[in-house]
Structure 1
Amino acid sequence: MSRYLNSPREADWYACPSCGDEVRVGSSGCPRCNSRKPTPDEDGDDSVDLSHAGEEFDYEDWKKREFGTLSSRFKPHHLPWKYWVGGILLIIAFVWAAVFAGFVHH
């Protein structure tokens, strides 16, 4: 893999997932290891967990477990209070400056 590509459209090879050697696009496999091993995302288990299939789904319980309880409707839960208050004060300062600049004519 010593060649430099100007764009992805020029790629006529890819790196073998097993050994890292160059493999030409459209070939039957890697010339070095001569294997067609599945990549980690190909050999994964795609089954669905149906262990709770007979139970009734409680959406409110799931929402509480997944996202937690919200401390405020207006403040995002990932934003610390000091940044929230600082942002509100900054907006108030900009609005006050815009209004004050409109009334003062020297």
Structure 2
Amino acid sequence: MSHTFEPQVIDAVLAHMNGDHTEDNLVIARANGHPDATSATMTGLDGDAGVWSVTDPAGEHELRITWPGGPISERPEIRREVVVVFEAAAAALGLPPREH
């Protein structure tokens, strides 16, 4: 059974991703099956995966990406896994790596 994070944790992550990382969400969507995505919004997460709502010319789709490091249960692990998902997506699209 997947770990469920507290609603306030999920809300904070979603607010951060959708407020500060809108372009990152789009990179993630484009590299994970939606190359023509025009928008992407993170809509949820649990211990197994992150979930995005993606819009492309064909309509709206749900994109669920399993955490690369396996199931998680602690808040700090969310950031780590989202960063890995983004970095893999950027590399798949040939984008230069970000400096941390």
TM over 0.5: no
TM-score by length of 1: 0.25
Bigger RCO (CA 8 Å, 6+ sep): 2
Larger radius of gyration: 1
Structure with the largest fraction of helix: 2
Q: Give the number of the structure whose residues are more often strand, by fraction.
A: 2
